[in-house]
Structure 1
Amino acid sequence: MHSLPLFHRIAGQPVIVLGEGEMAAAKARLVERAGGRVVGADDIEARLALIALDAPEDAAAALKARGVLVNVADRPELCDFTLPSLLDRDPVLIAVSTGGASAGLAKVLRLRLEQFLPASLGALATGLAAARATMRARWPDGAERRHALDAALAAGGALDPLDEASPDRIAKWLEKGAAVDSQIVEIVLASDDPDDLTLRQARWLGSADAVLHDAAIAPAILARSRADAVRLPRDAAPPAGARLTVILRRG
C-alpha cells in the first residue's frame, strides 16, 4: 500500500482551507459536510489544512512547520494526506484513492460503484449496529458471531448487502439464528501472484480465522488474509475456536 487509509473525525474541529474559486469552495463544502469548521491559516488549533492555490509551496511549508498536516490540490508531492473519492451511504463510507496519481480515475471508479451499491447499505449498517447486543447474546463466542454474520452477508445470504430488502430481514435472521461449524480448507497455489487466486480462494483467505502456511508462501498472498487472522506453520494444529482455517501450500 502507498498509504494507510484512515477515516478522521473532524466534527466540531477547525480545518484550514486556503484558496479561491471552485476548487477551494468544494474543499470547504467537504469539510462542512463532515461537520468540521472552515478556518483561515491563522487558526493555531487547526491540525489539518486543504490548500487550493496556484503557488502553494510557501503556504504549505509554513503550515507544515507548525505541525499541520497538509493536502495540496493537484500537487501530490506536497501532500501529507490525500482526499479520496467518496461514496456515501451513511453511515457506510467507501473511499477510492489512487494516492494522488489520478483523481479522475478515482472519481470514475466511485461512479461505477454507485451504480450497483444500493442506497439501503446505510440502513443495513444502522440495523446491524442496533442489533449488536442481540447478536452477542445469540452467539457469545466472538469467532462464531463473526462467521454467522459473514454467512448472512455473503452473496445470496439473508443479509446480502446488494439486496435492498436485507435491512428488513435483520430481525428474522436473529430470531432464526444459524449454527456455524468449524471448517478447514486447503488452497494449493499455482504461483506467488495473488491475482491467480480464484474468487472462492480469495474469499476463504479474507474470512479465515487462522492461516497455516509454509515459510515460502509469498507475502503478497498472505496479505490477502485478514490482518487479525492467526498465522501458524503449515504442520501446526488449527487453533481452538477457529471457525475457518485455511491451509496454504505450493502446488
Structure 2
Amino acid sequence: MSFPQPALHSLPLFVRMAGRAVILLGDGEPAEAKRRLLERAGARIVGEAAEAALAIVAIEDETEALAAIARLKARGVLVNAVDRPDSCDFTLPAIIDRSPVIVAIGTGGASAGLAAALRQRLEALLPATIGPLAERLHALRAAIRLSYPALDARRRALGAAFAQGGALDPLRADPAAVGAWLTTPAAPSDQFVTLRLRSPDPDDLTLGDARALALAERIYHPASIPSAILDRARADAVRIAADAPPGKGESGLTIWMEWA
C-alpha cells in the first residue's frame, strides 16, 4: 500500500504575472517593496475596485487591514497580507534569479528573515551558468526527445546527467556540454538499490543515499521508516509500505529501504 505523507503547508506554484492584474493596498515601504516586486514580474497593479484574482494587503492599521482582507476574500480574491500570515492565502518567497531558472524559498509566513538568510547562503552556491544551461536544454529539447523517445528513459538519462559529477552537473557544467552529452547518449539501465539506514535522522543519510532518493521512481520500505526520510525522495516518487523488497524488477530506479 502507499505510505501516507504529511500534508504540505503550501503548494509552491510559479505564476506568469506579465500583464496580470494584481490589487495592491497600502502605502509606505512594505507596500512599495511589494510594488517593486510586482513590477519586476510584469504585473499590472490595480486598486481594490478592479477585477483581479490576486491581492496584496500592506495596510498597517489592523482594523483597516482586516476589513480589506475580508472584503477581498468575500469576492474570491486570493490574498497576501503583509505581516499577517494567518490571513494569507498565498505567500511571496525569497527569490534567487538565474533566469530562466528561479529558486523560491518560503517558510509559510513563519519567518521572512529565515527565508532571506537561506537565499543569501544559496546565492553563493548557484553559478550564473545555470540560466544559460537551462536555455541550452530548452533549445535542444527536440534533439533530446529524439535521443530518448520514451519519457521514463529521458527522465532517467537527464537525472543521471544532472547528478553531482555528471555530464550536466548544474553547479559545474558549461552550457555547451549539452551538445557533447547528446553526441554519446547512453540508454539508462533499470536498477534496484538497497539503502540501509543507520538512524531515523535524515541528516545521517549518506551522499549516495541522498542521490538515489532524488532519482528513484519508487521506494519500498517498512512502515517503521520515518516520513522525514521519505520526504527526501522526489515529490512524485511512489512510496510503497511493504514488509519485504519486491520480488521482481521494475523500470527505472527502485529502492528498498531497511534498517542497518
TM-score (normalised: structure 1): 0.91
1:239 is displaced (CA, Å) by 5.0
Which residue is equivalent to 2:140?
Answer: 131
Larger CA deviation: 25-34 vs 212-221: 212-221
Pairing 1:85-234 to 2, within 5 Å after superposition: 85-163=94-172, 165-232=173-240, 233=242, 234=244
Q: Pick from 60, 77, 83: which aligns with 2:86?
A: 77
Question: 3-state DSSP class of the match of 1:127?
Answer: helix
1:218 is displaced (CA, Å) by 2.5
1:194 is displaced (CA, Å) by 2.3
- Please identify runs of 4+ aligned residues in structure 1 that moved more than 6 A: none
Question: 3-state DSSP class of the match of 1:42?
Answer: coil
Which residue is equivalent to 2:53?
Answer: 47
Larger CA deviation: 45-54 vs 208-217: 208-217
1:143 is displaced (CA, Å) by 2.2
- Contact 1:210–1:238 (CA under 8 A) maintained in structure 2: no
Query: In 2, Cα distance between the equivalents of 1:236 and 1:60?
Result: 52
1:141 is displaced (CA, Å) by 2.4
1:146 is displaced (CA, Å) by 1.6
1:238 is displaced (CA, Å) by 4.6
Cα 1:143/1:237, change in 2 over 3 Å: farther
Larger CA deviation: 209-218 vs 19-28: 209-218
Question: 3-state DSSP class of the match of 1:247?
Answer: strand
Which residue is equivalent to 1:34?
Answer: 41
Question: 3-state DSSP class of the match of 1:140?
Answer: coil
Query: In 2, Cα distance between the equivalents of 1:236 and 1:177?
Result: 30
Runs of 5+ in structure 2 lacking a partner?
1-7
1:191 is displaced (CA, Å) by 3.1
Cα 1:84/1:206, change in 2 over 3 Å: same
- Contact 1:238–1:245 (CA under 8 A) maintained in structure 2: no
Q: Identity of paired residues, percent?
A: 54
TM-score (normalised: structure 2): 0.88
Query: Is 2:251 the partner of 1:241?
Result: yes
- Contact 2:157–2:186 (CA under 8 A) maintained in structure 1: yes
- Contact 1:210–1:239 (CA under 8 A) maintained in structure 2: no
Cα 1:220/1:108, change in 2 over 3 Å: closer
Which residue is equivalent to 2:9?
Answer: 2
Query: In 1, Cα distance between the equivalents of 2:248 and 2:99?
Result: 38
What amino acid does structure 2 have at the position aligned with 1:129?
A: H
